[in-house]
Amino acid sequence: MGNFLQQLINGVTLGSIYGLIAIGYTMVFGIIGMVNFAHGDVFMLSAFIALIFYLALTQMFGVLSLPLAFILVLLGAMVFTGLWNWAIERVAYRPLRGSFRLAPLISAIGMSIFLSNFVQVVQGPRNKPTPPLFTDLIKVEVGGYDVTLSYKQIMIVSVTALLLAGFWFLVQKTSLGRAQRACEQDRKMAALLGVDVNRTISMTFVIGAMLAAVAGTLYMVYYGVVNFADGAAPGLKAFTAAVFGGIGSLQGAVIGGLIIGLVEVFFSAYFSSDYKDVAPYAILIVTLIFMPSGLLGRPEVEKV
């Protein structure tokens, strides 16, 4: 039972990161109907941006307060990653928006390859270790079993919960959120009613990148190492989470991320860590066969 509780905590922590990445997939798909396969590499890029910011703050500017350094790193990663994704949308996606459906998909795959190789050339192919952050542990007794809880895990879950609450408020209560929901339902009608569709789509890419930047920063803190190939596996697992939860559904993306994180951690603990990546993709296959619209997704109705 103690091992189960420990793996439950680990799974929720990992699932929180996947959920933040998955929101970026589901937001873009919900508005323009395109799977942004470069989103995983945007997440990887944000982890490197966070690492550079952290090293600059602590070694060049002498910021010694870890909470202050973390907040500054998080804000810097969000801003710069958002600008990167804004440029990607303008260069790689907007010119192809009215083209045949495969063109943006091919462009997204090409952008993914470009980002991965760009980081490999600039930062090198080796793992980049990060200085230890929030290394303290808390031992909690639950039902007679000792469970270890780290400050990193508390921080990851707390930051994720706060951001998701803020993001829900943004989508449901602000003018930008109303514009996003209008574009999701019918872009042409939204444009006729005065919604700036191009600006709304650009802001959607920026917000998705900012959430990915938070995930990238938390990933860097949690694992203590980043690599140019880190966008592939987490990106695909987050995409699996978005599909499983119902692509186009924000709540589904979060639930899917948590489930995928739990499945991966429990599979590693009770079966074999060598095949831990098999379980999420097996879930994706079963979901596409029996529930093509996912847990909370709506069946797509073709307009005639």
Query: Could you read off the pLDDT of 92-108 as tens digits, one per residue?
Result: 999 888 788 788 889 99
Assigned domain for 243 exists: no
pLDDT of the residue at 64: 67
Assigned domain for 247 exists: no
Please tell me the total count of domains within the chain: 1
Assigned domain for 239 exists: no
Is residue 183 within 8 Å of residue 201, measured between CB atoms? yes
pLDDT of the residue at 63: 66
Q: Is the pLDDT of residue 207 over 90?
A: yes
Q: Can you tell me the mean pLDDT for 237-242? A: 91
Q: Is the pLDDT of residue 301 over 60?
A: no
State which residues form the domain around 124: 2-230
Percent of the chain whose predicted confidence (pLDDT) is above 90: 39
Q: Write the CA distances from 115 to 42, 72, 84, 222, 237, integer angstroms.
A: 8, 24, 10, 23, 19
pLDDT of the residue at 270: 84
Q: Can you tell me the mean pLDDT for 262-277? A: 84
- The confidence band for 304, taking pLDDT boundaries of 50, 70 and 90, is very low
Q: Can you tell me the mean pLDDT for 212-240? A: 91
Q: Is the pLDDT of residue 302 over 60?
A: no
Q: Can you tell me the mean pLDDT for 215-221? A: 92
Is residue 20 within 8 Å of residue 165, measured between CB atoms? no
Assigned domain for 278 exists: no
